[in-house]
Amino acid sequence: MTSINHHLDEVILLDYHRGRLNAGQSLLVETHLEMCPHCRTSLRLFDAIGASMLEEVVPVDMAEDALELALARIERPEEAPEPRVAPELPAYLKGIDLPESVRAAAFKPRYWGAPGVWMAHLDAPKDGRGLTYLMHVKGGMQMPVHDHQGLEMTLVLTGCFSDDRGAYHPGDCVSCEAGDHHSPLIAADDCLCLIAANAPIAPRTLLGKLLQPFARI
């Protein structure tokens, strides 16, 4: 695997560590972590920071019978963990080299947002205006210029795309904040990305505006 040049923002990683991200954002962070030793090291650092605070904390007494309960619980046989049934990989993802985290997630049927572009939404409970989806774009396409109204994180799974700030390869993560705009160019090979957005995007061009209702992003 080529080394990853575009990492997740430390503040996002910390929010993941704190359990403050929604299911789609967490999936994106977990997938990046699977691919990125650098960010896994950050997570270990956070555990060590948390542990240093745990050492300092002023203890609060447990209930009187807490130890008795604890000693009783370890004698009970451990319930077998519920068998985890991995969701059936949709036909449109078969044959693509996917990270385990994505493979284990459930996606809805794909739909075509524009010629050469399909999308598939994560099958997760609705969380505010947040949207998480896979986007597959045919090699060589230029995406219409669009603005961002909230935080949008894009993780490259296969292929490569570039914008005015750089080129992104598998494992690379690009975050757009509200107010950013760009027009990504897809390299020769087809590109599959996982995208977690806080708010819908706003196309700047007429073509983009015309396509948006169909693209549902």
Which residues lie near other proteins (CB under 8 A)?
3, 9-11, 14-15, 17-20, 23, 26, 30, 34, 37-38, 40-45, 47-63, 66-67, 69-71, 73-74, 78, 82, 84, 100-101, 104
Smallest separation, CB 140 to other proteins (Å): 31
Q: Take residue 192 and report the two structure tokens written for it.
A: 């599959």
Smallest separation, CB 163 to other proteins (Å): 23
58 or 91: whose CB is closer to other proteins? Answer: 58
22 or 183: whose CB is closer to other proteins? Answer: 22
Q: Residue-wise over 129-168: b if at least 16 C-beta within 10 A, else e?
A: ebbbbbbbbeeebebbebebbbbbbbbbbebbbebeeeeb
Smallest separation, CB 69 to other proteins (Å): 7
Q: Name residues whose C-beta falls within 8 Å of residue 169's C-beta, 6 or more positions apart in sequence.
A: 2, 4, 5, 156, 160
39 or 174: whose CB is closer to other proteins? Answer: 39
Answer for the pair 208, 145: CB distance below 8 angstroms, yes or no: yes
